[in-house]
Structures are given as structure tokens and as C-alpha cells.
Chains A and B, each alone.
Chain A
Amino acid sequence: MNPGLILVKRELQEDFKASRGAVFLVIATLVLSAFAVLLVSNTELSLLDNAQAVYMMAGIIIALAALVAVIRGSDGFAGERDRQTLEPLLLAPINGPGLAAAKLCGILFSWLTLFILAIPYLWAVGNTGQNLLAAITYLFLAGTLIVVGFGGAALALSARLKTFKGVLSLGLTMLLLLGSPVLLGPSLRQSAVGRVLDLANPFAAALNTLDSVIIDSQGLAWQLLRLAVMVSYAVVILWWLYAATRRLEP
């Protein structure tokens, strides 16, 4: 078997045998369950409100995906360094970018698992509403790009910084900085500065894409610019990850 595939397999096994993945999935499903149960108390939402609920649920899933990407990415190299398991890996005839690719694949599998678990929630909340299939499709697309971006950035930081705690705090700060403009009020976001921030922010691009698809029922043509923003971020971060892992040190 290809060494890269062996590494990916190990990442997946560690998720469940070491329990870290299972713990996260339990927490994620509890969050989604809590949100779904809150909604059940108002079964006569208008169609708009129902679309809003699906949008909010999709937003929570994207946020959880970004969070798991940052946590897993931070652990990627710095965590192995802390546990002193990085050096034997560096002794193997596999280069740094190869290791990074395997770890990123592991993070993407975690996202895929979260996404598959989220589909029943979206179906339960949005089946009689609007744009459910489009919501699921764009959630997968935007979520994957967000996970590549945040996971790749956290892995790159993890390769250069020494401790997991240091990388995690930097990664979470990055997530908060990119997430906070989304919390600005509509009038501020509509200002010139707000629109530039929205456009340059991959997290905002993902949420605005979901808003556009689920609530405004807009098609692919409306999403192209935002998708381009997310793809650009992912490409730049992958290049950074490659450069950061070319010379990995224990």
C-alpha cells in the first residue's frame, strides 16, 4: 500500500481508537440535536423562517467543521511533537509535504463524517421547506473549501511552531477574527468596508453562499464570485502548507 494511504488510514484509526474523533462527533451531534429540538417547539414556521432555520443549521455545521479543522490541524505536527511521536515519522522515507497531505486527508475525512451525520438533521428540519437539496450540495462544497483552508492553515502553523497549545490559540484566534465580521449588523456589512471584508473573508463567503442558496433561492451564477474567494484561499493555503512542511523538524 502507498505510504500516504497508510498514514491516512492511521489518522482515521486514531480518530476512533484514541477516541478524539468520537468525542467530537458526540459533541457535534448534541449541538445539532439541541438546535433541532428548539425548533420543534415552533412547528408552524413560515417558509421563510423554515429556510432561515435550515440556513442557521448549515451555518452551525460550517462553524463546527472549521473548529474541528483548526483543532485537528493544530495537533497535526505540534501535537505529535508534544507526544514525541513525530521523530519516528520523520525517520521514515516520506517527505514533509507527503505527511501534511495525509494529515489533511484525515481532517477531510472527519469533515465528511460530520457532513454525513448532519444530513439527517437537515432533512428533518428542512424536508418540507425550500431548497433542501441545494442546501446540502452547497454545504458540502463550501464546507470542504472551509475545512481545506482552516485545516491547511492550522497544519502549516503546527509545522512551524513548537507546541500544540501555541498553535491552537493562534488558530482559534484566526478563526475568531475571520468569523467576527459575520456578526456585524446588516447596515455595517452593507457599507463599503463591510462589503470588502465580506468579500475577502472565506468564512463569510461560505455563509453568504448558503444564505443566497437557501433563503434567496439563487442559483450557481450568483455563487461564482464567492466560490472563487473560497477556492483562492484554499489554493494559497495549500501552497503555504507545502512550503512550511518542506523542512520539518522534531
Chain B
Amino acid sequence: MKVLRLIGLTLIIVLASAWLTSGAMAASAADGAVLRVSLQAPAGALKMGDTPDFLGAVTNLGPQPVQGLVVYLSLVSLAPGNEHPVDLEDWSAQKAVRLDRLNPGATDFRNWGMRLIAAGKYGVALTVVDPREPRPIVSDLVPFEIQPKATLVAGRVLPVAIGEPLLIVLLWGGMVFYNSRCYHKQKPEGLG
């Protein structure tokens, strides 16, 4: 009798768990919202000042349309020992978009433009948030390197920095010298 009671209790627990689990999966299966997101770096070397486009793609793999997706770009510096997030304020004018509706099987392709402000190693990723899903979906981190560009050329700055004050002093000194030469040629002081 005790054995039968024990078997029955075990059976209830297993069936209940199975039911609970199958309900979540069902909900999942019943909604059908499965998204795939990818990001592709531009080809070729990148340097400071360039304005490349990163190609992003968000695909609806599920059977139902999805609405109100928020897609946004994230940038991190991968400088060894100094990894940190980068504020996209000055790098990108369009950091996030909202997709009203993405039909089943449809892909939203979008160019994410950036202005490469500073040299270094970086990683960029595209994130999609579905308000009905608890977990955002993130693309692979796309690493890229920005080559430095000399924004200050010593050969341009130094001639100006040295030349201008020197020019003014020479012009002024020349004028003073010229005037003093003229004075020495004048007659002696008059009466009075």
C-alpha cells in the first residue's frame, strides 16, 4: 500500500512537471517569435575620420509577424587592458531604430553609419529587443581596427607658431629703425 502511494505521488509530480514544461514550450511554439540578428563590418582598412557603414540584418524566423522591435548599436573599446564601453554620441547620428512590424520570413537590412573619431581596437554589436521576450538577442561582436591619422602636423604648426610672432617683431622693428634713421637726418632742434 505504501509502495502504491509512493508510485502514485511520483507519477503526479512527473506528469505535472511535464505539463508545465510543455506549456512554456507551447507558448513559445504558439507565438513563433524567433529572431536572427547579424552585423557585418565594411571591407577594407579603416582610419580616423572615415564614415563607414556597418550592414545590419534582422530576420523574423517565426511563423507570426513581430511588432515594436527596438534595434540598437553598441560599441566597446577593445584596447588591451583598457576595455570600456564607448558613448556613441559623437560617433553615430543614428544609434537606435524601432521596427514597427517584421513579417514572418522578412529581413530588415539597414546600414549603420559611423564616424570614426579615435584610433584603436573596437568591437560593435547589434542588439534586438522584443518587448514580449525576456531576453534580447545580440549579434556576434564584430571586431575592427581604426588606424590613426595625424590630426596635427608639426610641419604645418611649427612654421606658423614660430613665423608669425617673428614676422610681427621684424615688421615693427623695421618701422622703428626706419623712423629713427629719418630722425637722425633732421636739422637740429629749433629755437624756443
Give the interface of A toward B (CB within 8 A).
16-17, 19, 22, 25-26, 29-30, 32-34, 36-37, 39-40, 42-50, 53, 117, 120-121, 123-125, 127-129
Known: A44-B151, A127-B156. A33 touches B175 (CB 8 A): no
How far, in angstroms, from A41 to B157 measured CA to CA in the complex?
11
Known: A22-B168, A26-B169, A46-B48. A128 touches B117 (CB 8 A): no
Q: Which residues of B in the span 145-166 have a Cβ within 8 Å of any Cβ on A?
A: 148-154, 156-162, 164-165
How far, in angstroms, from A53 to B157 measured CA to CA in the complex?
13
Size category of the binding interface on chain B: 20 to 34
Min Cβ gap A200→B in Å is: 27
Contact check, B160 vs A36: say whether CB atoms are below 8 A apart: yes
Contact check, B157 vs A37: say whether CB atoms are below 8 A apart: yes
B159-192: CB near A (< 8 Å → 1, else 0) gives 1111011001100100110010000000000000
Min Cβ gap B76→A in Å is: 16
Contact check, A40 vs B151: say whether CB atoms are below 8 A apart: no
Pick 26 A–B contacts, CB within 8 A, sort by A. A26-B168, A33-B160, A37-B157, A40-B157, A40-B161, A42-B152, A43-B153, A44-B119, A44-B148, A44-B150, A45-B152, A46-B119, A47-B48, A47-B116, A48-B90, A48-B117, A48-B118, A49-B118, A50-B152, A120-B160, A121-B160, A123-B160, A124-B156, A124-B160, A125-B157, A128-B151
Contact check, B160 vs A47: say whether CB atoms are below 8 A apart: no
Q: Please give, as numbers and ranges, the residues of chain B lying within 8 Å of A50 by CB-CB distance.
A: 151-152
B49 at the interface (CB under 8 A from A): yes
Contact check, B150 vs A29: say whether CB atoms are below 8 A apart: no
Q: Which 4 A-B pairs have the closest CB atoms?
A: A46-B118, A33-B161, A50-B151, A22-B172
- Contact for B158 among A17, A37, A42, A127, CB less than 8 A: A37
How far, in angstroms, from A117 to B157 measured CA to CA in the complex?
14
Q: Which residues of B in the span 87-123 have a Cβ within 8 Å of any Cβ on A?
A: 90, 115-119
How far, in angstroms, from A46 to B150 measured CA to CA in the complex?
9
A31's nearest neighbour on chain B, judged by CB, is B165
Contact check, B119 vs A37: say whether CB atoms are below 8 A apart: no
How far, in angstroms, from A239 to B125 measured CA to CA in the complex?
59
Q: Please give, as numbers and ranges, the residues of chain A lying within 8 Å of B168 by CB-CB distance.
A: 22, 25-26, 29, 117
